[in-house]
Structure 1
């Protein structure tokens, strides 16, 4: 995290998680294999390669939103919504991509070739992302378990009291964020009431010390989890490293061929 209340925070299982750019490389490599396979079988499969939004630091832990909204600047600009990638594809580009997918997959025998030959080939040449997800599973368990700890419950109660003092009657973090419909298009502005509640939410988390309290409790819990699941986590880390190595070799071969 580069800014906000969770700045600099990194939870122990993150060292066992693939970053979003790594996942993008793996999926793009599998698409390269599938595209070549379909071409060999007489079909067309020409997907656009995935981009790297969200940010390069993103992984399954999602620290920026793990304890709810935590960045005051983003709360002021976007309310509870996740900032959209304004540099991403336009609606027209997205529509064109969907049209391409529909046209290509309408060819007789396309689905059979993709599902029975090309997807298995991509899985064999690159691998399968998340056949198991020990780190992600443990992270889900730790969030729930640490939330129930007395110190975190006291901080949550303090946050709720602070929110009430600002005129927001909210039972929990999800209750605050769930009250507003998020913008359906890039660049859409959130309503003023949402921005007000979001900025008060972050301010009250700061006043209550909620984020560092929860982070400390969850870190301690996760360290115990890692001790108990070390073998599975290390095996998954080794598997992911091999998966990424295969993916980048595929992407490098395409780049070299151009």
Structure 2
């Protein structure tokens, strides 16, 4: 549930965010991130919570890994600065690469990949009564601007020798007598701004704790208690994730709202949120301890990238 709304920040994100190309174009997807995190320990089998808080929602809850995750406004800032650098590079080759004149922060600038508001499904009674399983209107992400398609020449300068969808890397070294940067203008922008968008370790830990937690005795028992409660309301769901599956209609129906209200009420009755948060917190603390050196490096890299992106935006990428 929680991870579906996030775009994992691999090397492909720069390409996707800048030009809107298919992920396969970048040639820097799963294989590169898995290699980069090959030494990461993402198992927290020994983790066990020492205390279970009573939580009726996730409104004031945070998880340990959030200290290492990029926030939405930081992510948007880096992408915008990257676009400015790409525009500067493309201009050297005579191409007009369009960039939005204003950087627009996300609707919820302090939100991040943990997505606590909907990580465990819906947990707020007021939201359930009004929207059912639909996200509130002010929580919907802004639609990205449409990116005009590139000509073959523009794409060659933008990507350079980056492998195309057929996994073949063209040997493009120059355009009209001018040397193309390694991996094109997208690669030049990445080198200038840093690798803050590529570091996947914090998100890998974020994902691992979520997935592993559902197999723990504590969370499994909480699911069964929640399921029993839902049956008393006339609903047959094994886990809180089941009501979220399937396409939602344009607006919430009365039936959907009633189901969502029962969902939240059963979560509160069984303290499912408190149990789940406690288990994930214990897991993440263990995973952070196991990977502390690498995470510290990731955070330092992210801070450097954020600082560079702020400078690029302030200067308008004119230098």
- Normalised by the shorter chain, which TM-score bucket? 0.7 to 0.9
Distance in 2 of aligned mates of 1:153 and 1:59: 26
| 2:91–2:97 CA contact under 8 A, matched in 1 | yes
1:182 alignment partner in structure 2: 248
Distance in 2 of aligned mates of 1:199 and 1:87: 21
| 2:224–2:238 CA contact under 8 A, matched in 1 | no
TM-score (norm 1): 0.84
Query: Could you list the per-position Cα deviations for residues 94-125 of structure 1 after superposition, in whole angstroms to 9, with x for gaps in the alignment?
Result: 7xx53x613xx24x511111112210111111
- The structure with the largest helix share of the pair is 1
TM-score (norm 2): 0.69
Asked if 1:19 is matched to 2:63, the reply is no
Give SS of 1:9's match. coil
Give the total of aligned pairs: 240
Give SS of 2:61's match. coil
Match of 1:67 among 120, 123, 143: 120
Distance in 2 of aligned mates of 1:122 and 1:29: 9
User: What is the RMSD computed on CA atoms of the aligned residues?
Assistant: 2.4
Distance in 2 of aligned mates of 1:35 and 1:158: 55
Query: Could you list the per-position Cα deviations for residues 160-209 of structure 1 after superposition, in whole angstroms to 9, with x for gaps in the alignment?
Result: 11111111111212211114x235xxxx4222222221222111111110
Give SS of 2:117's match. helix
| 1:6–1:64 CA contact under 8 A, matched in 2 | yes
Match of 2:306 among 239, 244, 248: 244
Match of 2:136 among 76, 79, 83: 83
Give SS of 2:148's match. helix
1:193 alignment partner in structure 2: 255
2:97 alignment partner in structure 1: 45
**Segment drifting more, 151-160 vs 244-253:** 151-160
| 1:53–1:85 CA contact under 8 A, matched in 2 | no
Deviating above 4 A after TM superposition, structure 1's stretches of 4 or more consecutive aligned residues are: 85-90
